[in-house]
Structure 1
Amino acid sequence: MYKRILIILTILISFGCEDQLDKQADFISENVVFEDEALTEAYLAGLYNNMSFQIFGGFGNINIGMIAAAGAEHINFANWQTPNSTYRRQYTAETGPGPLDRWPYFNIRNINILIRDMPNSVTLNESFKKEKIAEARFLRAYEYFELARRFGGVPLITVPQNTDDPEEELFPARSNEKDIYDFIYNELELAIPDLSETPTGAEGRIDKSTALMLQSRAMLYAASIANFGEVKLNGIVGIPDGEAIAYYQKSYDASKAVIESNLFSLYNKSADKVQNFSSLFLDEGLGNPEIIFAERFEPFIKGHSLDWLANPDGLGLEWNSNFPVLYDFAELFDFTDGRTGKSINRGDLNANNTWDINDFFGNRDPRFIASIFYPETEWKGQKIYFHGSTQLENGTVSTNRNLLITKPGTGEQLPAAAAARNVRNTALLARKRLDPSNTATAELNSGQDFFVFRYAETLLNLAEAAYYLGRTDEALEAINMVRERAGMPLRNSITEDNIRQERQVELAFEEQRYWDLIRWRIATDVLGNVRTKGLVFRYNLATDTYRITLKNAEGNIRQFGEERYYLPFGQNRLADNPNLIQNPGY
């Protein structure tokens, strides 16, 4: 059957393809596309563009906070916002997977077309063809990884389907979860030899190290499923526990290959640990040695709304303060003097105690300061406040946001009560990746790249795999490299909890924690039957201290049953393919 591809008009023009447009309007047949380098690059660019390495969607990109909300790092400002409905909803066969869904078989079909047809090109040179097929194999492996960690085993389709195919091909059954992870690994093994060894990932183009990082991440995920999960539906979900060590080894080997390439290193351009970690996410392109692969953005051209959404209230922005950080998550960040983040007893957070804010927050892990707004954070040349009231020197309490008060002996002025949106939910806000130079007065005017893979994750992946392989010295060394860069005390020994905690604080708000809790099979404990907390700050002018108390950050208790380790298929999807089997518990 003669198939045709719709090529976006503007992309074709950018590659100088007016002649083809004149001949065939908006459609270019595949035998033309894969005989021309520019058209092939345009086709591949469309595949990249459809990947959704970072989740967006919703009003003003509000869904950019969805994975963090699902993983109880932060919530969103308002209950109507999709990230909040995502963590609250109870998944059922009737409602389906909801906003966490990803069913990218249309993109997989287009990838399959390239992989099938590119070898038949008679005009393109062999090295070009091999590289483009290798990039497509990576994209296909990535899509199947996203499917597997949501649903377990899924239909494995590697050739384009046609309407006249036999029913067993048009309606494929689910492969075993193990088979999907083995496919991912093998796809990348085929791709790696034909990908560039010269780093191009920071510029948004897949290279050898990018493929190795997907092996590192996906095989670590498979190892965890084997180690901590349970096989059900005859292997459609779950991986036999006897396979765990082999997958840990594959993850370890991939991480080791990235490390031993000596192409990357931890970002260390500033001696100030807070400034260094903040700058890491704003220093883009090949000049940042930590970036292995990034999704590229440019304001308005291909921009997002992170700064417009996330900056604190009080900066003259129409929309702001959308990502309130949960105190439960803040407690994971330890203190630089060696105290744990949970060393402050929650029972001591009462109206009878007062706290120096610099000790309570300012002496925590520099990654906390660089990642989270808290009371008196310096930002854009001013301090950000989160207190709901002030006890004045005469003993009266003011909640007047328009009243400026002066600290005795300093001359510093601050409001008697902070801006409303800063106070409302948790009195902490996400700061990581924000650009202080961006005025953010409109949607889509942020251009910070999203780092899909960075070198710190390489070290964390290696540490975790090495730990379960019995290589604890290597695990400790890798963890301490991350901690040393952060400005935290080095550890003398290593535990499973140490590795998990380090991962959560280093990769905070980078769409990792939710999936980690899933693969470790501890989401039922961390996210189940839990009512997360926010803070209430009351400032005392005379003593320059705060009374800090807890409040419920969420209207409902979070629930996470065992069945939620996999998402359900909705009734429509089951009806579309009668050979799909529903996941357990739905």
Structure 2
Amino acid sequence: MKSRIILMMLLLTVFASCESQLSKTPDFISEEVVFEDKNLTEAYIASIYQEMLFIDMGGEAQNNMGMIPAAGAEHINYANWQTPNSTYSRSYTAAAGAGPLDYWGYNAIRDINYLIENIGQSKSLSEAYILQKINEARFLRAYTYFQMVIRFGGVPLITKVQNVDDPYDVLYPPRAKEQEIYEFILSELDEIILTMPDLKTGAAGRIDKYTALALSSRASLYAASIGNFGTVQNDGLVGIEPGSTEGLYQKAYDTSKEIIDSGLFLLYDKHENKKVNFSQLFLDEGNDEVIFAEVFEPVVRGHSLDNLSTPAGFLSTWNSNFPVLYDIVELFDFVDGRKGTDISRDELNSSNTWDIDDFFGNRDPRFTSAVFYPESVWQGGLVYFHSSTTYTDDSGERVTVTSGTLDRNGEEWPAAAHPRNVRNTALLLRKKLDETNLEPISGRSGQDFYVFRYAETLLNFAEAAFYLGKTGEALDALNQLRDRAGMPLMTEATEANIRQERQVELAFESHRFWDLIRWRIAPKYLDKVRTKGLVFNYDMDADTYVITLKNAEGTDRSFGPERFYLPISLARIADNPSLEQNPGY
């Protein structure tokens, strides 16, 4: 049983055992008692972990697990009524607020501040243990502020528990500058890193020194990018001063390098077959690439990724929910050195036919392990995405059929794929799915979610090194990833190939949306863009496909420059009149 799940069960057990000792109502334990008992303290901080936005588990049957990739035009959701699709189809206004992308984590911050202020008064816990828990809490507070600053820019910086009799300016604090929030995050991490033991516990779901370094690496890189490519507005409520950029890139470089030089983390490379290797990376839990994971366990604390993502035609109760966009497919190059964009969209017409193994199967193994495409092998069968089959019948006529089954070299072949597989893009998310889960059930999958992994550290390092003029070091980091993937090595590091490599390596892991924003290039990919899917028509005689484009979404996406920051809702401003709205709303 995994550690954090034990803690949550312990919460219930200890609460029950303490009832007879307390002069409280039977279902309540006073906060004053918590930090006199180690088990209660562990349960208290475990409850804070549950409040963290490591991955959004909301939405219809946990469809929000795919929300950030949907916002970033990597995949969409099966139907527009599913919450992730509203992230790009809704209007963002002050009245409507941030919608499903919202996160205002002050409930967690209150609990964290309470622990930091009060655990030191314990008469029962050791000083070493108290320091460990304070460090852990300070990391979680820094992470919470990071999740808010990437959405809103500056937010109120609250580091003490608020009380009802506090002065007005304490109860209704104004927003700090965006730069002040990043500086707070980085200074908190700097301080706790100094007193955290040199132990690896992140893969088991508990914060360690390297988790703190990983967040510092990510946060400083984000801030550096905003200083480099953005502008300061509203007297600093949003934006980073350009003069801070070099120091922030240096911070990202240094913290990444400390993780690299520790020698404790390696790119996962156990399997000779590169496709198998990249698939198993996300299933072989606790491997040396994992810096920090949110831990899941089937039944006790499971999720629904397998049930949501398994293609139609297999034993999933609600399948095919994450259709992959062709726009992201084009980023994946071929193992022989061809660019993914070498196939012009104009060539995708009814006059051309394609060998499916070449069109898809010869792409970067990180693609073939991450996306279902026609005739992908899954659980001993084939996944189908074709809308029709054309063949020569017994009379010698060429016919096209869309129903029934045919004989293809002695095997049964469906004339057309299941409608759920072809409805949107005729491609589906495969990354992180467990092929051994033969009957995926909602809430019963147990793959951990990797919040930080070593591959991101190398990418952070490469990007920071590039902007610091250390292009040789950037190239080496990129080529470590390319070599692991079985792709041709690069000969130079450029801004373009650093960004492409990041999007390919971290595809569907909730990075691209935020990366496009911090690079200030999101409008190029998300504004006035009609994303694309594919239509496959199978030619049985030639064993090839006619591949044509279709619109994956009903309207163009919209992403104006105001969307680099989300609006603060009028309801939130009514609750705290000291809040100032973001520019453009």
Question: How would you bin the TM-score normalised by the shorter chain?
Answer: over 0.9
Of 162-171 and 16-25, deviating more is 16-25
Residue of structure 2 in register with 1:533 after alignment: 532
- Give yes or no for contact 2:60–2:83 (8 Å, CA) kept in 1: no
Amino acid at match of 2:531: T
- Give yes or no for contact 1:295–1:450 (8 Å, CA) kept in 2: yes
Give me the whole-angstrom Cα distance separating, in 2, the residues matched to 1:200 and 1:398. 56
Residue of structure 2 in register with 1:52 after alignment: 53
Alpha-carbon offset, residue 21 of structure 1: 5.3
Matched, 1:193 2:220: no
Map residues 288-327 of structure 1 onto 2, 5 A cutoff.
Answer: 288-327=287-326
- Give yes or no for contact 1:195–1:206 (8 Å, CA) kept in 2: no
Residue of structure 2 in register with 1:396 after alignment: 399
The change in CA–CA distance for 1:389 and 1:20 in structure 2 (over 3 A counts) is same
Give me the whole-angstrom Cα distance separating, in 1, the residues matched to 2:485 and 2:316. 31
Amino acid at match of 2:268: Y
- Give yes or no for contact 1:150–1:567 (8 Å, CA) kept in 2: yes
Residue of structure 2 in register with 1:31 after alignment: 32
Give me the whole-angstrom Cα distance separating, in 2, the residues matched to 1:70 and 1:244. 27
Alpha-carbon offset, residue 196 of structure 1: 2.9
- Give yes or no for contact 2:405–2:412 (8 Å, CA) kept in 1: no
The change in CA–CA distance for 1:70 and 1:13 in structure 2 (over 3 A counts) is closer
Residue of structure 1 in register with 2:139 after alignment: 138
Alpha-carbon offset, residue 364 of structure 1: 0.2
TM-score, normalised via structure 2 length = 0.96
Residue of structure 2 in register with 1:242 after alignment: 243
Residue of structure 1 in register with 2:74 after alignment: 73
Give me the whole-angstrom Cα distance separating, in 2, the residues matched to 1:552 and 1:463. 35
Deviations 1:431-460 (A, max 9, x none): 000001113442101110000000000100
Give me the whole-angstrom Cα distance separating, in 2, the residues matched to 1:30 and 1:95. 36
- Give yes or no for contact 2:172–2:578 (8 Å, CA) kept in 1: yes
Of 30-39 and 274-283, deviating more is 30-39
- Give yes or no for contact 1:215–1:254 (8 Å, CA) kept in 2: yes
Give me the whole-angstrom Cα distance separating, in 1, the residues matched to 2:253 and 2:350. 49
Give me the whole-angstrom Cα distance separating, in 2, the residues matched to 1:257 and 1:392. 60
Alpha-carbon offset, residue 278 of structure 1: 0.2
Residue of structure 2 in register with 1:501 after alignment: 500
- Give yes or no for contact 1:21–1:27 (8 Å, CA) kept in 2: no
Give me the whole-angstrom Cα distance separating, in 2, the residues matched to 1:254 and 1:14. 40
Matched, 1:577 2:566: no
The change in CA–CA distance for 1:269 and 1:576 in structure 2 (over 3 A counts) is same
Residue of structure 2 in register with 1:173 after alignment: 174
- Give yes or no for contact 1:372–1:432 (8 Å, CA) kept in 2: yes
Amino acid at match of 2:382: K
Deviations 1:104-137 (A, max 9, x none): 1011000000111112222211110100000000
Give me the whole-angstrom Cα distance separating, in 2, the residues matched to 1:260 and 1:311. 39
Map residues 268-417 of structure 1 onto 2, 5 A cutoff.
Answer: 268-285=269-286, 288-394=287-393, 395-400=398-403, 402-407=404-409, 411-417=410-416
Residue of structure 1 in register with 2:418 after alignment: 419
Deviations 1:401-454 (A, max 9, x none): x313314xxx34321111111111101000000001113442101110000000
Deviations 1:187-219 (A, max 9, x none): 111211232311000100100000000000000
Alpha-carbon offset, residue 50 of structure 1: 1.0
Alpha-carbon offset, residue 20 of structure 1: 4.6
Alpha-carbon offset, residue 16 of structure 1: 7.3
SS in 2 for 1:396: strand
Residue of structure 2 in register with 1:518 after alignment: 517
The change in CA–CA distance for 1:21 and 1:561 in structure 2 (over 3 A counts) is farther
Give me the whole-angstrom Cα distance separating, in 1, the residues matched to 2:83 and 2:568. 19
Give me the whole-angstrom Cα distance separating, in 2, the residues matched to 1:460 and 1:523. 19
Give me the whole-angstrom Cα distance separating, in 2, the residues matched to 1:163 and 1:548. 64
SS in 2 for 1:388: strand
SS in 2 for 1:49: helix
Give me the whole-angstrom Cα distance separating, in 2, the residues matched to 1:532 and 1:420. 20
The list of structure 1 runs, each at least 4 consecutive aligned residues, that deviate by more than 6 angstroms after superposition, is none
Give me the whole-angstrom Cα distance separating, in 2, the residues matched to 1:162 and 1:219. 33
Give me the whole-angstrom Cα distance separating, in 2, the residues matched to 1:316 and 1:279. 21
Give me the whole-angstrom Cα distance separating, in 1, the residues matched to 2:420 and 2:297. 28
Map residues 71-220 of structure 1 onto 2, 5 A cutoff.
Answer: 71-220=72-221
Give me the whole-angstrom Cα distance separating, in 1, the residues matched to 2:428 and 2:39. 44
Amino acid at match of 1:527: L
TM-score, normalised via structure 1 length = 0.96
SS in 1 for 2:340: coil
Give me the whole-angstrom Cα distance separating, in 2, the residues matched to 1:352 and 1:434. 35
SS in 1 for 2:235: helix
Q: Which runs of 5+ in 2 are unaligned?
A: 1-6
Give me the whole-angstrom Cα distance separating, in 2, the residues matched to 1:433 and 1:162. 44
Amino acid at match of 1:279: Q
SS in 1 for 2:392: coil
Residue of structure 2 in register with 1:4 after alignment: none
SS in 1 for 2:550: strand
Give me the whole-angstrom Cα distance separating, in 2, the residues matched to 1:386 and 1:253. 46
Residue of structure 1 in register with 2:434 after alignment: 435
- Give yes or no for contact 2:405–2:414 (8 Å, CA) kept in 1: yes
- Give yes or no for contact 1:12–1:18 (8 Å, CA) kept in 2: no
Of 505-514 and 188-197, deviating more is 188-197
Alpha-carbon offset, residue 19 of structure 1: 2.9
Amino acid at match of 1:399: T
The change in CA–CA distance for 1:197 and 1:17 in structure 2 (over 3 A counts) is farther
The change in CA–CA distance for 1:362 and 1:443 in structure 2 (over 3 A counts) is same
The change in CA–CA distance for 1:506 and 1:21 in structure 2 (over 3 A counts) is farther
Amino acid at match of 1:389: S
Amino acid at match of 1:522: I
Alpha-carbon offset, residue 15 of structure 1: 4.1
Amino acid at match of 1:422: N
SS in 1 for 2:341: coil
- Give yes or no for contact 1:405–1:416 (8 Å, CA) kept in 2: no
- Give yes or no for contact 1:388–1:537 (8 Å, CA) kept in 2: yes
Give me the whole-angstrom Cα distance separating, in 1, the residues matched to 2:14 and 2:476. 48
SS in 1 for 2:387: strand
Amino acid at match of 1:398: V
Amino acid at match of 1:393: T
SS in 1 for 2:29: strand
Amino acid at match of 1:263: L
Q: Which runs of 5+ in 1 are unaligned?
A: 1-7
Deviations 1:447-480 (A, max 9, x none): 1000000000010000000000000000000000
Q: How many residues align?
A: 573
Deviations 1:368-415 (A, max 9, x none): 000000001011001111100000123010001x313314xxx34321
Give me the whole-angstrom Cα distance separating, in 2, the residues matched to 1:467 and 1:208. 26
Residue of structure 1 in register with 2:3 after alignment: none
Alpha carbon RMSD of aligned pairs, Å?
Answer: 1.3
- Give yes or no for contact 1:337–1:489 (8 Å, CA) kept in 2: yes
Amino acid at match of 1:295: E
Residue of structure 1 in register with 2:41 after alignment: 40
Of 48-57 and 322-331, deviating more is 48-57
Deviations 1:507-558 (A, max 9, x none): 0111111000110000011111100000000000100000000000000100
Give me the whole-angstrom Cα distance separating, in 1, the residues matched to 2:200 and 2:82. 38
Amino acid at match of 2:502: R
Give me the whole-angstrom Cα distance separating, in 2, the residues matched to 1:9 and 1:279. 28
Identity of aligned pairs, percent? 60
SS in 2 for 1:84: helix
